[in-house]
């Protein structure tokens, strides 16, 4: 995937490879939706000198490994296997490459095992860690990696998103183009549009909107809802309907009560495995309608 906001980082990394100065451990970080894993994928293929643009995570290559969280966690056994992999010369490529996607998902034992590998790097193996929450990695891991931070570029993201439906979702995802593209592909509408209808519709329209929301990822839905409210409070969401006046007015008890309700909804759908999403969402929509009615 060619992402134009990666061009500066790609140029710098390419120059380091050509000069033989590429560090053996790199930490590629970015905000969610800005392609940390995509840049890690590009770098691994560059190190391996693999032609074309195959999907690296599915690449069958004797000199390459891609590690990703298993059920939300990168286990210690997966990291320990890297030490065996790094032993010996490459079989096909000039060097070996490893991508650890979402490296911040390593458990404590896995992080400690990786630290040993970082302290004694193999001369012919490049470790590429990617993360959307790099600050949560242990300082000992971060200090042993060359940092590659992907900068957000709103203009490049807007230009790259050719689909109008995706561009309309940029505000929902704090400008993150890959998240907006995913949302558009899954049929999402802008949150402000749905909330405006919710604040103005009757029981039948509310029921239809609840069904529409139930078809969406609930954690992403609540995060988009919160982002929409932040924009409304700043006066940057003109089409939020009657509820916008409540958020632009002085804070009051009902406003804070709704914020608490939204945070509770997000916590339940993220943490609990037995949450009744329909019941929670119906309650949240009811509270929103009350707030909109003033």
Main-chain dihedrals φ then ψ at residue 216, nearest 5 degrees: -100, 160
Spatial distance between the Cα atoms of 154 and 144, rounded to a whole number of angstroms: 31
Residue 46 has pLDDT above 70, yes or no: yes
Mean pLDDT, residues 166-180: 94
**Residue 163's pLDDT band (cuts 50, 70, 90):** confident
* pTM for this entry: 0.86
Q: Provide the pLDDT for residue 259.
A: 86
pLDDT, tens digit, 9 for 90 and up, residues 103-112: 999 999 999 9
Spatial distance between the Cα atoms of 101 and 94, rounded to a whole number of angstroms: 22
pLDDT, tens digit, 9 for 90 and up, residues 59-75: 999 999 999 998 889 99
Main-chain dihedrals φ then ψ at residue 96, nearest 5 degrees: -95, 155
Spatial distance between the Cα atoms of 84 and 18, rounded to a whole number of angstroms: 28
Q: Provide the pLDDT for residue 235.
A: 64
Spatial distance between the Cα atoms of 97 and 261, rounded to a whole number of angstroms: 46
The first and second tokens of residue 181, run together, are 């593209």
Q: Cα–chain-centroid distance for residue 50?
A: 26
Task: Say if residue 279 is exposed, middle or buried (CB neighbours under 10 Å; 0-12, 13-18, 19+).
Answer: exposed
Residue 226 has pLDDT above 70, yes or no: yes
């Amino acid at each position: 995937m060619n992402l134009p906001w990666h061009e500066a980082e790609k140029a710098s990394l390419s120059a380091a490879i050509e000069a033989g100065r590429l560090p053996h451990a790199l930490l590629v970080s970015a905000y969610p939706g800005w392609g940390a894993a995509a840049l890690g994928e590009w770098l691994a293929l560059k190190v391996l000198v693999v032609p074309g643009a195959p999907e690296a995570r599915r690449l069958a290559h004797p000199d390459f490994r891609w590690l990703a969280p298993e059920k939300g966690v990168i286990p210690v056994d997966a990291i320990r296997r890297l030490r065996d992999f790094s032993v010996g010369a490459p079989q096909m490529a000039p060097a070996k490459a490893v991508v650890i996607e979402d490296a911040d998902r390593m458990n404590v034992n896995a992080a400690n095992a990786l630290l040993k590998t970082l302290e004694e790097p193999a001369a012919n193996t490049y470790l590429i860690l990617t993360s959307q929450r790099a600050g949560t990695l242990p300082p000992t891991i971060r200090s042993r990696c060359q940092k590659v931070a992907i900068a957000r570029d709103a203009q490049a993201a807007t230009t790259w998103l050719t689909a109008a439906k995706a561009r309309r979702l940029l505000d929902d995802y704090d400008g993150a183009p890959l998240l907006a593209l995913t949302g558009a592909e899954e049929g999402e509408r802008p949150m402000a549009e749905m909330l405006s209808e919710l604040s103005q519709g009757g029981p039948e329209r509310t029921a239809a909107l609840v069904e529409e929301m139930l078809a969406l990822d609930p954690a992403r839905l609540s995060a988009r809802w919160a982002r929409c409210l932040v924009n409304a409070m700043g006066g940057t969401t003109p089409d939020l309907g009657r509820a916008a006046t409540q958020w632009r007015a002085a804070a009051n008890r009902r406003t804070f009560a709704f914020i608490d309700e939204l945070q509770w909804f997000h916590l339940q759908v993220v943490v609990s495995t037995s949450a009744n999403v329909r019941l929670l969402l119906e309650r949240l929509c009811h509270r929103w309608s009350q707030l909109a009615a003033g």
